[in-house]
Structures are given as C-alpha cells and as structure tokens.
Amino acid sequence: MTVKTWIAPSLTALAFALAACGSGAPETEETVTDPVEVAQTQASSLPEITVTSEELEGNPFLETWDTPYGVPPFAEIEDSHYMPALKQGILEAREEVAAIIANSEAPTFENTILALETAGPLVNKVAYTFSNITNTDTNDTLRALEGEVWPMLTRETDALYLNPVLFERVKTIHDQLGTLGLGEQEARLVELMYRDFERAGAALDADTKAQISDINAQLSALTTQFAQNLLASTKAFRLELSTPEDIAGLSQDFLAGIQVEGEDKWVVTLDRSVFETFMTQSENRELRGQVFDGYRLRASEGEYDNGPVLIEIAQLRAKRAELLGYESHAAYQLETRMARTPAGAEEFLLSVWRPGLERAKEERADMQAMVGDAFTISGEDWWHYAEKVRQARYAFDDNALKPYFELNAVKAGAFEMAQRLFNIELTEVEVDGWNPVVVSYDVTDLETGEHLGLFMTDMYARDSKRGGAWMSTYRGASDIDGVSTRPIVTNNLNLTQPPAGQPTLMRFDEVETLFHEFGHGLHGLLTQIDYERFSGVDGPRDYTEFPAQILEHWASQPQMLEIYATHYETGEVIPTELIDRMNQASTFNQGFKTTEFIGASLLDLAWHNLSYEEAMAITDARAFEQETLQAYGLIDEIEPRYRSNYFSHIFAGGYSAGYYAYLWSEILDADGFYAFKEAGDIFDPETAARLKQWVYESGGLLPADELYRNFRGSDPSIDPLLEIRGFKELESEG
C-alpha cells in the first residue's frame, strides 16, 4: 500500500514544495540583521527559475479543467507540459510566500497558517498529476523528468520549512493557541503545521539547516534512482515457456493471461500476481527456481544494482537524524507514531515473530514429509508444496475458488458492503481516464444526496506501471471559505489482464487486496475535514493501514460471500461447503506469511536504527541483510517478503522505519472487527456509525490512539490478532 501520492500526505498545499521567497542573484556576505532580509538571503540560494510565455502557450495545467468532476484532461497533457507548468507554479508560490514573509501585521491564523495552507495551487495541480502518471503510465521521458522534478520540489519545500521568519510566525501563533478561540480543526492545523516546521529543522542554526537541505536533495535523487532501477530490473526479466514440460501444472486461465498473442508461447514476468501464481502451480522445479531467483535477485547486480544506492540512503537518513538531534532515523520517524520508539516496534514484532517462526518450522516439516527423500525443501518449493499440503489436509484447492471471484462481481460486493456500512452509493460514470482500462464511479451520500468524490480504478498490470497495489489521489479534499472541494481518489492493482472477452478471475488473496485498497479509498473519499493537511488518509503509518485492513475481514464473511461470490458462468452462489473449507484453511501457512512479513519489518528497522557512525561502516548491503536476519533466526527456506535491494516501501516510498505498520494496524483491525462480532451483526448500524465518524471521516483530527478509542471505546487487545493467525496456543506456550 502506498497511500496518497508523494506530495499529498504531509504538506498539503502549503508546500507541495514551495519556496521561502523570491529568487535572484546571491546576496553579499555582509551581516544581515533584519529578519525579512535573513529570509530573503536564505531564499536567494535557490536557483533562478525562468519560463517563457512561449513555453506556457497551450499548456493545459494553466487552464480551468472543464472536464467531468474536474479530472485532468489526460488526452491533452503531453510530457512536455509538466516542467513549464511546474516552474510557473513555483514562481507563483514563491510570490505568495514572499507576501506572507513581508506582511508587517502581527501573525494570525488567516494571514499565516491559512495563507500557507492554500499557497501554491498550480504546483499542487501539476505534482498530483505527475506523481500519479509516473506510477501508472511512465516512459523514458517521464523517468528522466523525475530526476529533475523531485529534487526541485524537495529544494523548494526545504526553503519553506527552514525559513526563520515563517517559522517564527507559525511559532507565535502556536504559542498563543490557547487564547485564540480557534475551532477544533483550525487548532489542529496550527499544531500540525508547527510540528512540521519543527521536525524539519526550522529551529536549528543556519549551517545545520543548510546540511539538512543538501541531504534532502540527495535523498530525493537517490530514492528516485532506487525506484527506477527496480522497475527496470523487474521488467527486464522474462521467462519464455513453450513445451508441455514448461507449462506442467499451470491452469488454463493463468496460461490465457500470460500467452503471447497468436503463438503457443507463454511469458512469465515478475509482477507479484504472476509470480505467486506460477510459484504455486508450476510442477517444474527448475523453472520455479529460475523465477524465484529472478524475483529475489532483482536490482542486485549490474547497472540496476540498488545495493550502493540503498546504503547511501541509509547513511544520509542517519546523518539527517543526527543533525536533528535523534539517535537514528527510526527514532526520528517513530516519535510521532503509535509505537513511539524503535524498541517499542521491535518488541511488538517479536511478540508475533516467535510463534510465527515456530509455526513456520512445523509447516516446513509437513512439506518435507510430503516429498520424503526426493529432495530437501527450499525457497522455490514453499508456495508449491504448501498448496499441496493444504489440498491434502483440507480438500481445498484455491483454483476452485477463482470462478466465484470475477473482478466486476468482487467490486460490486465491495460497493455493497460500503453501502450497508456507511450509507453511500457508487455509480459507474463515463470519465476519460489516464488509460483505457480505468473505470470510474461517482460516490454519493445516500442520506443527503451529497457528492463525496470520484473513485477511479486501474486494475491491470502493464510494463509502464509500477508493481503492487496502492491508493492515491489526483485531488485532495478541503472546505475553506465556503468553497468545498471533494477528492478524486484512485485504486491501483496489478491483476493479469485476460484476453479480450474473457473474465478476470481472482485469487482470494487478490480479493482481499481489492477490499484493502478500497478501504484506503474510502478513507480518502469520506473525509469531513476542511483542511487538506490532515484530511483523508492522514495519521501515523502504524494507524493509516487500519481503515484499509479492517475491510479485509468482510471479504471472507459468509454473509458477504453470498452477496458477491457467484460463479462467473452459472451465477451459482459459492457453495457453503467451499466457504467452510476456505475458512478452515484460513490459518494455514500463517507461519510462512507471518515470518516473511516480519522478516522484512525487522530488516527495515535494522537499516534505520543505525547511528550515523554505524551506517557509515556498512559497505555490503547483502552481508548486512544476512547478518540481521540470521540474528533473529530466520530459517533458510524463507526469504523476507522484501530483500533490501527491492524494498521500495522503505527506500523509495514513505514507509522507512515503518513497514511494521501493517502488522501493528492488524491489532487495530482485528480488535476493531471484533466489535462487530460482539454486536452480533457485521453491518451493525451503531458500530458502523462510530467507525465512519471517528475513522473514515476524521482524517488526522486527533492523535491516532484517541481516534481509535473514540470508535472502539477502549484500547485494542492483541488477542484477536493472535487468534486470527492461529497463534493463540503457541503464544500462551511461549
């Protein structure tokens, strides 16, 4: 899950990368004492930006988008439009912020906080679109532009947050907060904006701020390079199948999805959906080994080697944390999250790791017993033989489920769930998307008739699209001075697209992913927060997965399956006995799933809990990785879900020192869903109303633990999580 786009989660329109004030020639070196001149001196170090009227002529970003729901006019936007529009937006933003700095009136909420919150709309407009398109339909030109755009935005953002005059104005308002009589949302905006400035280093001396700004620029370039290396390395792998031995065990619907058009050949790629299906179904152990190595060795050698890149990222993050006064990047990151400290996150992970690892060893023994002395089970065998053991133990074949999980029916089921829980309706509408496969829906409050937002779905993998599944936004939500703006939210999956006219049949884990991302989508769509800074998907990483993960529970409930799990050919509702076998098998292979996930989480913490001195001593990424995982006792047959070289969540996304958040949020979602169980109805109106009000509508209005308690009435218990994973007995024994 990435949640919002790169720019949306933290800075709102305030920064989406704005400068502190105007650019120009460098100032002289004489001592400057006037605070406004100090700010201008700092800003003058920014490169001069120029853009001509000829470059802007016909640029769609400068127009009001008279399109359905105000979506970007994708067909009109060319690659060459991004940079001129971005430059113009930055120039306009610099002027707006310069006016705030030069204001001689005493700082107020309106002339400082609100002015910063609403500054830079053109930058915002361009960056939202650019960030989304480079994730879904990139090309060589856009990849090259990323190397310019993100460092430019980072530099401008730093100039804002490290500006002493802006910080002093924000601090003045924050210090007077108790006497200003502001509303709840306005007071929260002040608190969060002050925290943003302070944590960016605004209170530090000029030399330290200059170092931080330089580090941020380097990190922006390096994280972009990491992502591009990973994409190129992933797309470079192609395993061609052409003989009966090559395709032994592969289902017909899977073969149809990977067949070369017009030929009796099939191509296996490293898209996660293709990878897991091939590893589960293929009877050819040699080919499983090739695909397994292709996946785990991505971006590990040659021109796309991410090893040196990620080491430098870890070193720079550690140095920045030291400059900001923290022992490590993890200590800095977790300060504002529910776990609070790296030790707190690690302690939690280990409480689930220990029973998970014991269960994984039992699972390994079961598989070895099945193959006997033929060979020793290794990593490329786990998916395949785990499925065989499951079929033998539960008489349950995952492929038997797929005809009941057709994409359109699954989406309709998710929408029906949202209607019953939150009294909303999603209606398909004709909107031109960024790709022909995009399908869009108008989201409406059934009680008031209010338009809540536009929901756009992009379900299929393609070479121009990054891997994984995520929610993002093309436009955030706000309601300022009587002008209400509702969000444009997207969900992206990477399903294998079937041949024309054939249904898209899903594995059940893909169904759960759809429900998960829809949860993120609803978090963005249902928001009732007026200020984009904390509307929609907001909050600490170890909380923001909760609104997504809790909806996964509905996907497997018999009452829900009766609604959406119908055979794509006959219309037959999924048989009760098949549901029973599926639920009986739900805790199967949880040792593997838990261990691979927590292995990656512990690896993330290890990289980011390094002091600067420790980070500088790292020279070999794989050696550090192996040493870390061996110390925790990871067995050889299980790889962490992400090796460092392709761990984009932490080295190219927003989850550094935070990948544990998915499991932490599982405490919340398991305990939260148990509230519906206690009520005796998975659609209980009172419980659903509290969930809607305090979770989906409230964004970051309150600290995450307060939001959860307001919904649940108490702090969460870990017991439902351990029970769901089948570890309750193992935990008590431990």
Helix (DSSP H) and strand (DSSP E) numbers for the chain:
33, 9
- Please answer whether residues 422 and 607 qualify as being in contact, where contact means their C-beta atoms are separated by less than 8 angstroms: no
Per the DSSP assignment, residues forming a β-bridge with 425 are 444
Q: How far apart are CA 564 and CA 420, in angstroms?
A: 14
- What are the Cα distances from residue 539, in Å, to 13, 331, 522, 629? 17, 17, 15, 30
Give strand ranges (E) for 168-295.
239-241, 266-268
DSSP secondary structure code for residue 539 in this structure? S
Q: How far apart are CA 676 and CA 663, in angstroms?
A: 20
Amino acid letter for position 594: T
Active site residue ranges: 517
Radius of gyration of the CA atoms of the chain, in A = 26
In what helix (H) or strand (E) does residue 124 lie, and over which residues does it extend?
A: helix 121-136
- Kindly tell me the burial class for residue 485, based on how many C-beta atoms sit within 10 Å of its own C-beta (0-12, 13-18, 19 or more): middle
- Please answer whether residues 488 and 475 qualify as being in contact, where contact means their C-beta atoms are separated by less than 8 angstroms: yes
- What are the Cα distances from residue 229, in Å, to 197, 214, 267? 32, 23, 22
User: CA angle, corner 641, sides to 636 and 647, nearest 5?
Assistant: 120
DSSP string, 355-401: HHHHHHHHHHHHHHHHHTTS----GGGHHHHHHHHHHHHH---HHHH
- What are the Cα distances from residue 85, in Å, to 89, 95, 168, 221? 6, 16, 31, 21
